Amino acid sequence: MNSSFRLLMWLVVTALGLAVLPGIAFSQQRSLKDQLVGKWTLVSFENTAPDGTKRYLFGENPKGIAIFDTDGRFAQVQVKSDRPKFQANNRLRGTPEENQAALAGAYAAFGTWSVNEAERTLIRHIEGSASFPNEEGRDSKWFVTLTGDELKASLPAPAAGGRTELLWKRVK
């Protein structure tokens, strides 16, 4: 074979290889864990009570963030956007009613996280909870659906009872 023919063959093989690569890359989806890593802001939090009543435990416009890092650690905070302010302007001097409203309108937890790729679930192992100490040391399983920059999480048996649906948007 002369060098021109070899060069032509090399160019053809290279071109075919490059044409096939995007198809291979497209067919290999990122893992659920890789897709979850990052920061997410809370869009909605809806709980359906066992009797079917819809409840918005963090109000119609909740605020919140969830952070899932690559090392398997997470932190999550969410609050009602309309919680009443403390009259004393000091968190240590709130009235019983103010403290109750603040606690009922907030959630904060941290710990470790993992996924079950086959079930498409996120498992949060709660190490600390500022708002509900009973969940410390427990696992919380979320059934998740990811579409672009949206994360939908479904909790079939939350502490509030019934079923809870959360919608998160990726922070860019």
Residues 51-61: tens digit of each pLDDT:
999 999 899 99
pLDDT tens-digit readout, 10-28: 555 555 555 544 544 444 5
DSSP 2-61: -HHHHHHHHHHHHHHHHHHHHHHHHHSPPPHHHHH-EEEEEEEEEEE-TTS-EE-TT-SS
Give the type of residue at 81. S
**Protein fold of 31-170:** Lipocalin (2.40.128)
pLDDT at 1: 62
Could you tell me the two tokens for 153? Answer: 């999480």
pLDDT tens string 93-144: 999 999 999 999 999 999 999 999 999 999 999 999 999 999 999 999 999 9
Q: How many C-alpha atoms does 34 have within 13 Å on its Cβ side?
A: 4
Burial class of residue 44 (count of CB atoms within 10 Å of its CB; 0-12, 13-18, 19+): middle
Q: Is the pLDDT at 91 greater than 80, yes or no? A: yes
